[in-house]
């Protein structure tokens, strides 16, 4: 997520604690989901489904904050 905008992400992470915590949570969830799907992290289907839903919610919220930041940034 935001692969080509790393510099802007770092600026936003410094400015916005909500964005920073959501970004870190998304990375954590991504890692857990990946490990569960690879079989490295044992997890039942219900728990995996909940993690995926939380990851999606987190991504949606991050996208909203990102778009708000981009709209207010000088062009």
For residue 60, the model assigns a pLDDT of 97
Alpha carbons 59 and 62: distance in angstroms, whole number: 5
Q: 69 pLDDT exceeds 80?
A: yes
- Residue boundaries of the structural domains of the chain: 12-72
pTM of the shown model: 0.87
Q: 6 pLDDT exceeds 70?
A: yes
Please, which residues have CB within 8 angstroms of residue 19's CB and are 6 or more apart in sequence?
12, 13, 62, 65, 66, 69
Alpha carbons 12 and 65: distance in angstroms, whole number: 9
Q: 73 pLDDT exceeds 90?
A: no
Predicted confidence (pLDDT) per residue in 20-67, tens digit: 999 999 999 999 999 999 999 999 999 999 999 999 999 999 999 999
Q: 1 pLDDT exceeds 90?
A: no
């Amino acid at each position: 997520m935001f692969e080509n905008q790393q510099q802007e992400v770092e600026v936003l992470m410094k400015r916005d604690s909500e964005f920073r915590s959501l970004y870190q949570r998304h990375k954590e969830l991504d890692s857990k989901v990946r490990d569960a799907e690879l079989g490295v992290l044992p997890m039942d289907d219900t728990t995996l489904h909940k993690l995926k839903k939380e990851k999606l919610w987190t991504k949606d919220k991050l996208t909203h904050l990102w778009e708000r930041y981009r709209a207010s940034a000088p062009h």
